[in-house]
Amino acid sequence: KNQVLNLGRQAPEVSMSEVGEAVLSIVKKSAPLKELEAQPGSPSRRAPDMSLTDRLVGFSAQTTLAQGIQKTYDWYQTHYFSKGL
């Protein structure tokens, strides 16, 4: 049967402010971060339950948040920005 599997890292839980700060650090930019009120339907926590994914496929995140942002930034630098898009 069809099941939804979460992909991510269950811990440590990371706030959106921490994600924003990590992105700014990696791209070597400075910008004010403004925390907004949560919108209806927005999750109150961003820490996926990985138990089903782990049980079915043995997935366990090996990449830290900073590593993932850096890899994504590098990919865009190589495949998108360098082509003048």
Distance from chain centroid for Cα 38: 18
Maximum Cα interatomic distance, the chain, rounded to a whole number of Å? 47
Q: How confident is the model at residue 84 (pLDDT cuts 50, 70, 90)?
A: low
* 33 pLDDT above the threshold of 60: yes
Amino acid code (one letter) for 61: A
Give, for 83, the enclosing helix (H) or strand (E): none
* 34 pLDDT above the threshold of 90: yes
As separate numbers, helices (DSSP H) first and strands (DSSP E) second, the chain gives 3, 0
Distance from chain centroid for Cα 69: 7
The pTM is what? 0.73
